[in-house]
Structure 1
Amino acid sequence: MSQSGLPPLTGAVRDLAHEVVSALRGGGHLAGSTALADDELALAAVRVLGADVLLPATLAGCPLPPERVAAFRTATLAFPAAPGAAPVTAWSHWGMRRALRALGGPEEDPALPDTGEPGASWLQSLPWQRFTHQLAVLSALALPGMPSEVATTAALRPVDLARGFVRAVRRRDWLQAAGAARWLALLDGVPDTLGLDTGLDFVLLMSDDDPRVALQAHVARHIRDERLLDEGLRA
């Protein structure tokens, strides 16, 4: 997918997001990309997209080509969170390590140090606008069955996150809106009046086919569909 006119890294991230969302739409099957391991720009794109690179496996349950897993591991090692890094950077890298562990990586792998979670106390007191922004940046952590302190904190503020989603839509920040929607799809206590499904349709319509937005929206819908199915089975 050509991304002409964009900065190289932005284009590479969009290309990678397009690959992932296309794989998810196709049942999770992703062709190998051996060039990733030898391409610094592509590895940087993996670091930016983070754990979502492995969604065909972690969300759809499909095996990934060994080349893709190896490239992801290389990016995890090549771009660690430096000491004193911003919390979102530390959490993003933690999410990548967690995703590798979910694939059954060996415990002694240096890409998988068991350092514990970075901590999420910084999120608790943020105003709702900033809270939504930070969670949208960390949307790769919003997955069913993948708990974290960030997810626990998000679950305490669904109304604030809903307000942030509406604000992002009004500001035409489609990527932030889609990232917030992914969290909202995961949480209980979201106001029924929000109209999340309709809101997601609007975000996709207005996002100019941005594959990063499409990826977040696809995951959000997948989570909602799975929750509705589960609720129906338990009813």
Structure 2
Amino acid sequence: MEQSGTTALLQGAVQDLASGVVSALRGGDHVTVSAAIGEDTPTANLVLPAVRVLGADLLLPRVLFRSQPDLAELAVFRKAVDAFPARADAAPAVRWSHWAMRRTLRRFEAAPDGAPGQDTAADLGTDWLEGAGWQYLTQQLAVLAALAVPGEDGPVTEVARSRPVDVARGFVRAVRRRDWQQAAGAGRWLTLLDGVPAELGLETGLDFVELMGGGDPRVALQIQAARVMRAAGAVV
């Protein structure tokens, strides 16, 4: 029961952070997570785990709008990266998610890549994605939607670029299954891909996903990210 309660609190903390990111992507104020540290609230000790769950998307508005995080905000992000390293036996998506957070840190801190004990993109590889069925490919790409950032190339992005039709099929399947998080993540990837079938009607599809699942801030985050990238012509 206690574990279940903690899980629910963590999910709530993640949703709160995602709501702040959505607000920033829509042009509102970015709710900084640093303010929550030390506050006497039920979720104060869950801020760092929540940042790790949300991952690199916490700083996505800073990336897309080319603004610098304040020092406290960046410090919280850095603490989450350091506090929750990906184990060597972790699933590939977990290791790539952690890598995406370190890539974001490098963007803002000019830190060197490939520091001792850290995986590089080449180390991680994409073996588990190459040749995967389109259903599994889309599911994994949706989990790694934080890697779908304009101007940030990498092995996972290359796999996605090589299979736009499969990702489009996965998007449609996710919508039909009412899996709004997966549909939103796949839709974000499709925004960056060439060769997406015109008959997919991606813009209309994103609107529908937002209508049906936008009450979930993590769904809204992916949809709003896709819109910002489309509006900018996928160039940052």
**What TM-score, normalized by structure 2, do the two folds share?**
0.88
Aligned CA RMSD, in angstroms, stands at: 2.4
In structure 2, the residue matched to 1:233 is none
Are 2:137 and 1:137 aligned? no
Measured in 1, the distance between the counterparts of 2:147 and 2:235 equals: 22
CA deviation map 1:48-101 (0-9, x unaligned):
110000112111112222111100000000111001110000000000000000
Assess, with a 3 A threshold, how the Cα gap between structure 1 residues 70 and 58 changes in structure 2: closer, same or farther: same
Q: Which of 63, 83, 86 matches 1:81?
A: 86
DSSP-derived class of the 2:53 partner: helix
CA shift for structure 1 position 109: 11
Extract unaligned runs of 5+ from structure 1. Answer: 1-5, 231-235
Measured in 2, the distance between the counterparts of 1:104 and 1:58 equals: 13
**What TM-score, normalized by structure 1, do the two folds share?**
0.88
Q: Which of 92, 103, 114 matches 2:97?
A: 92
In structure 2, the residue matched to 1:43 is 48
Measured in 2, the distance between the counterparts of 1:102 and 1:108 equals: 10
Stretch of structure 1 that moved more, 59-68 or 132-141: 59-68
Extract unaligned runs of 5+ from structure 2. Answer: 1-6, 39-43
Counterpart code for 1:210: D
Identity over aligned residues, as a percent?
54
CA deviation map 1:13-60 (0-9, x unaligned):
110000011012126x52433344554311111111100001121111
Measured in 2, the distance between the counterparts of 1:229 and 1:115 equals: 27
In structure 1, the residue matched to 2:4 is none
DSSP-derived class of the 2:230 partner: helix
Measured in 2, the distance between the counterparts of 1:132 and 1:190 equals: 14
CA shift for structure 1 position 147: 0.6
In structure 2, the residue matched to 1:60 is 65
Counterpart code for 1:9: L
Q: Which of 206, 209, 217 matches 1:200?
A: 206
Counterpart code for 1:212: R
In structure 2, the residue matched to 1:189 is 195
Counterpart code for 2:19: H
DSSP-derived class of the 2:86 partner: coil
Measured in 2, the distance between the counterparts of 1:91 and 1:209 equals: 27
Are 2:161 and 1:165 aligned? no
- Residues 21 and 31 in structure 2, CA contact (< 8 A), matched pair in contact too: no
- What is the number of equivalent residue pairs in this alignment? 224
Q: Which of 120, 123, 129 matches 1:116?
A: 120
Are 2:40 and 1:34 aligned? no
Counterpart code for 2:120: G
Q: Which has the higher contact order (CA 8 A, sep 6+)?
A: 2
Measured in 2, the distance between the counterparts of 1:208 and 1:21 equals: 11
